[in-house]
């Protein structure tokens, strides 16, 4: 995958998450990076993950992110997602 | 031009409001009705909040705007079903605030469902059904948050969507008395927050249209219909039921004062419209539609799926629920409790689960016939009406609609769970949706004391546009309710029509074309193409 696209996607997702969580009452220390986990670090609830995916679609002007593919692995819904996993998924969609 | 104020009362019904008015609990609303126009307002084919409010604010039916439920169910890949919350990006018809904005006028839109992730427009928007932590970044424009978040009475935790509280009305269990009293106070605080923002927009901004939804009526009626519904028996003097009922009534007193205050702030030259997305009535039983489909060979549960023993209709985790179905052996299912819809699966590719395409019509007719023939132990039919999506939802989005939409004999929602009995009595009567909502109009150049026959929810958008002295796009499905306006006003302001509404997707391209030179435009269009946004 093109490194620039991947980095742009990561920057975009970090930007959205930083903006979204800037006034959240979190114990999480340090800035959001690729290793940050949505649930474990940022306390995302399931409905907020859906709202995040919508915000990502809007930011990257993707008309159908099909985020369900990101949220499922081996026929089971994943327990958590890292920022890098989301960014890689977005980068794939932007390029396809 | 008269400013136009739309007060949305989610789930309001004259069957209750008339009694509250008669009992002196809503004196201002009484005046509005007596000095204005009232009519029943007929909802969308499935009288449900997201499709109904979206129809009210687009003037298009769900088959055109594409919103059929709180969630959008999709078969994301073979034998994998997923549902996600619908957002404004799923709305396939132009909204009234977009139309108003294109004319150079401003709107303030508050707490409407399916407005999260709305496209930019000329005005202000605070979406409904968004969680507290996401609300701040969801308002339009973003600077609005700084202005409203410190308003007296506004607390993001109260005004925003709480999943657990939101699901509570569908739960069969009645709250304990003290919890119910606290819950009514929570609904009042929620209304107070939206009231504060609406007031702010009326006082501090040049909005020509201000529209706000108060959702407490719906929530309260779901939970306490057995206490406050017109058919409920009078509780004994001094009883707990009477105290609870009085407390529920205090919600409506409080709502009446909010209506009065916003009408006063809007001023004597304003026009005020009150409308609900659907009406209300009682439900006394539960129909387990997926259990029926399973018994008739259309759906297969996975081993250990378990049956419902507590009168639940749905769950906060549809994902987990979908994992209880053996999708490889399922051809028809209800994905949610709220749309009362059955989806049929068609195997379009070799190896897919579902019906061969050539059997679709035959099996759909078979399900309709069997459901109509299904009776309870006393021999009474349970499903009183079944409509196909072609009948209920014609339009460009029809293929996303349920293949069948059911109306149950008690007007209730289906349960999606498995059950040992297909129909069970509820432990207690609850409130549920009905098709007949309310419409009230009052104000400048509105006639007084008139009662009209049933209107369509699709009539609201063209009527609001006319009130704003704008032309009505020719493709709106409803009609301006001309009878509510004074004859002299109608003569001097003839109803005008204009070109069809814009496709919401095209709005992006309109903006691209508006302020850019040709070279910049081509760069952006190339980028949109590269992103798959344009084909």
Q: How many CB atoms lie within 10 A of CB B518?
A: 8
Q: Do A45 and B131 touch (CB under 8 A)?
A: yes
Tell me which chain B residue has its CA closest to the CA of residue A54. Answer: B117
Considering the domain architecture, whether residues B446 and B412 belong to the same structural domain is answered as no
Among B428, B446, B476, residue at a domain's last position? B428
Q: Which pLDDT tens digit goes with each residue over B302-330? A: 998 888 888 889 887 787 888 899 999 99
* pLDDT mean across residues, chain B: 90
Domain range list for chain A: 3-95
Considering the domain architecture, whether residues B289 and B377 belong to the same structural domain is answered as yes
Count up the domains in chain B and report the number: 3
Considering the domain architecture, whether residues B40 and B149 belong to the same structural domain is answered as yes
Among B410, B428, B446, residue at a domain's last position? B428
Considering the domain architecture, whether residues B188 and B268 belong to the same structural domain is answered as yes
Domain containing residue B33 = 4-62+91-282+433-488
Residue B532, pLDDT above cutoff 60: no
Considering the domain architecture, whether residues B419 and B469 belong to the same structural domain is answered as no
Burial zone of B146 (CB within 10 Å; 0-12 exposed, 13-18 middle, 19+ buried): exposed
Distance of CA B264 to the CA centre of its chain: 27
Q: Which pLDDT tens digit goes with each residue over B76-103? A: 777 778 788 898 989 999 999 999 999 9
Lowest mean pLDDT among B105-109, B200-204, B214-218, B522-526: B522-526
Give the domain CATH number at B330. 3.30.1360
Considering the domain architecture, whether residues B31 and B45 belong to the same structural domain is answered as yes
Q: Do A24 and B133 touch (CB under 8 A)?
A: yes
Look at residue B521 in the predicted model and tell me its pLDDT.
Answer: 37
Considering the domain architecture, whether residues B330 and B445 belong to the same structural domain is answered as no
Give the domain CATH number at B468. 3.40.720.10
Considering the domain architecture, whether residues B364 and B473 belong to the same structural domain is answered as no
Residue B261, pLDDT above cutoff 80: yes
Cβ-based interface (< 8 Å): residues of A facing B: 19-21, 23-24, 45-48, 50-51, 53-55, 57-58, 60-63, 66-69, 71-72, 75-77, 93-94, 96
Assigned domain for B474 exists: yes
Q: Which residues in B lie closer than 8 A to residue A69 (C-beta atoms)?
A: 76-77
Chain A interface test: which of B117, B137, B320 (most A C-beta within 10 Å): B137
What is the C-alpha separation between A46 and B161, in angstroms, rounded? 13
Residue A75 pLDDT grade (very low, low, confident, very high; cuts 50, 70, 90): low
Considering the domain architecture, whether residues B17 and B113 belong to the same structural domain is answered as yes
Q: How many CB atoms lie within 10 A of CB B309?
A: 10
Least Cα distance to B43 among B459, B334, B388, B398 occurs for B459
Look at residue B169 in the predicted model and tell me its pLDDT.
Answer: 59
Considering the domain architecture, whether residues B308 and B376 belong to the same structural domain is answered as yes
CB B414 within 8 A of CB B288: yes
Percent of chain B with pLDDT over 90: 76
Assigned domain for B105 exists: yes
Q: How many CB atoms lie within 10 A of CB A64?
A: 10
For β-strands B404-408 and B383-388, DSSP reports them as antiparallel
Residue B531, pLDDT above cutoff 50: no
H or E element in which residue B62 lies: helix B62-65
Q: How many CB pairs under 8 A join A and B?
A: 70
Q: Which pLDDT tens digit goes with each residue over B48-77? A: 999 999 999 999 999 999 999 998 888 777
Considering the domain architecture, whether residues B186 and B139 belong to the same structural domain is answered as yes
Q: Which pLDDT tens digit goes with each residue over A14-50? A: 999 999 898 888 887 778 999 999 999 998 887 788 7
Residue B528 pLDDT grade (very low, low, confident, very high; cuts 50, 70, 90): very low
Place of tokens 């006639």: B447
Q: Which residues in B lie closer than 8 A to residue A20 (C-beta atoms)?
A: 133-134, 137
ipTM score for this prediction: 0.74
Terminal-residue alpha carbon distance, chain B: 42
Q: Which pLDDT tens digit goes with each residue over B275-288? A: 999 999 999 999 99
Please, which residues bridge with residue B39 across strands?
A: B439
Considering the domain architecture, whether residues B162 and B257 belong to the same structural domain is answered as yes
Chain B interface test: which of A9, A15, A50 (most B C-beta within 10 Å): A50
What token pair was written down for B506? 């095209």
CB B305 within 8 A of CB B311: no
Chain A interface test: which of B76, B84, B150 (most A C-beta within 10 Å): B84
Question: CATH for A3-95?
Answer: 1.10.1200
Assigned domain for B211 exists: yes
Residue B171 pLDDT grade (very low, low, confident, very high; cuts 50, 70, 90): low
Q: Do B84 and A45 touch (CB under 8 A)?
A: no
Look at residue A6 in the predicted model and tell me its pLDDT.
Answer: 87
- Enumerate residues 6+ apart whose C-beta is below 8 A from B257: B28
B474-496 mean pLDDT: 97
Place of tokens 């958008």: B461
């Amino acid at each position: 995958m093109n490194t620039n696209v991947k980095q742009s996607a990561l920057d975009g997702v970090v930007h959205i998450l930083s903006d979204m969580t800037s006034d959240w009452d979190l114990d999480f220390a340090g800035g959001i990076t690729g290793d940050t986990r949505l649930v474990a670090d940022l306390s995302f609830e399931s409905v907020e993950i859906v709202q995040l995916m919508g915000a990502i679609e809007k930011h990257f002007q993707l008309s159908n992110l099909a985020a369900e593919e990101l949220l499922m692995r081996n026929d089971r819904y994943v327990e958590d997602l890292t920022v890098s996993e989301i960014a890689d998924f977005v980068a794939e969609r932007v390029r396809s | 031009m008269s400013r136009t104020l739309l007060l949305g009362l989610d789930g309001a019904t004259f069957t209750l409001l008339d009694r509250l008015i008669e009992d002196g609990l809503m004196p201002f609303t009484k005046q509005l009705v007596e000095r204005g126009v009232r009519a029943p307002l007929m909802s969308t084919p499935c009288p449900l909040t997201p499709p109904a409010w979206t129809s009210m604010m687009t003037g298009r039916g769900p088959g055109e705007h594409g919103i059929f439920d709180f969630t959008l169910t999709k078969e994301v890949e073979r034998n994998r079903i997923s549902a996600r919350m619908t957002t404004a990006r799923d709305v396939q018809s132009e909204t009234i605030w977009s139309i108003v904005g294109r004319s150079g006028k401003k709107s303030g839109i508050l707490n409407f469902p399916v407005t999260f992730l709305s496209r930019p427009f000329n005005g202000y928007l605070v979406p409904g059904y968004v969680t507290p932590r996401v609300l701040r970044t969801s308002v339009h424009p973003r600077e609005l948050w700084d202005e409203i978040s410190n308003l007296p009475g506004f607390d993001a935790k109260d005004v925003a969507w709480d999943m657990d509280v939101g699901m509570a009305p569908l739960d069969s269990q009645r709250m304990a008395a003290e919890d119910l009293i606290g819950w009514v106070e929570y609904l009042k605080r929620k209304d107070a927050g939206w009231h504060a923002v609406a007031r702010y927009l009326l006082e501090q901004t040049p909005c020509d249209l201000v529209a706000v939804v108060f959702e407490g009526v719906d929530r309260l009626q779901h939970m306490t219909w057995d206490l406050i519904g017109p058919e409920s028996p009078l509780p004994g003097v001094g009883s707990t039921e009477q105290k609870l009922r009085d407390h529920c009534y205090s919600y409506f007193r409080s709502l009446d004062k909010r209506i009065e205050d916003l009408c006063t702030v809007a001023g004597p030259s304003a026009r005020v419209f009150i409308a609900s997305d659907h009406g209300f009535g009682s439900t006394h039983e539960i129909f387990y539609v997926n259990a029926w489909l399973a018994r008739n060979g259309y759906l297969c549960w996975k081993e250990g799926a378990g049956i419902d023993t507590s009168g639940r209709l749905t769950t906060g985790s549809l994902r987990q629920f979908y994992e209880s179905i053996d999708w490889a052996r399922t051809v028809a299912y209800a994905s949610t409790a709220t749309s009362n819809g059955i989806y049929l699966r068609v195997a379009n590719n070799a190896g897919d689960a579902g019906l061969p395409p050539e059997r679709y019509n035959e099996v759909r007719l078979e399900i309709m016939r069997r459901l109509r023939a299904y009776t309870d132990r006393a021999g009474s039919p349970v499903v009183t009406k079944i409509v196909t999506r072609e009948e209920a939802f014609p339009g460009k989005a029809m293929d996303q609609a349920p293949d069948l939409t059911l109306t149950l004999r008690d007007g209730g929602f289906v349960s999606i769970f498995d059950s040992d009995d297909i129909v069970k009595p509820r432990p207690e009567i609850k409130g549920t949706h009905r098709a007949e909502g309310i419409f009230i109009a009052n104000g400048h150049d509105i006639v007084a004391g008139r009662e009209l026959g049933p209107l369509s929810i699709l009539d609201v958008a063209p009527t609001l546009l006319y009130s704003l002295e704008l032309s009505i796009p020719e493709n709106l499905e409803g009609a301006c309710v001309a009878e509510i306006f004074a004859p002299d006003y109608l003569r001097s302001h003839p109803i005008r029509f204009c070109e069809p509404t814009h496709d919401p997707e095209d709005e992006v391209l309109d903006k691209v074309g508006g302020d850019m030179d040709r070279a910049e435009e081509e760069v952006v269009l190339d980028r949109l193409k590269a992103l798959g946004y344009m084909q």
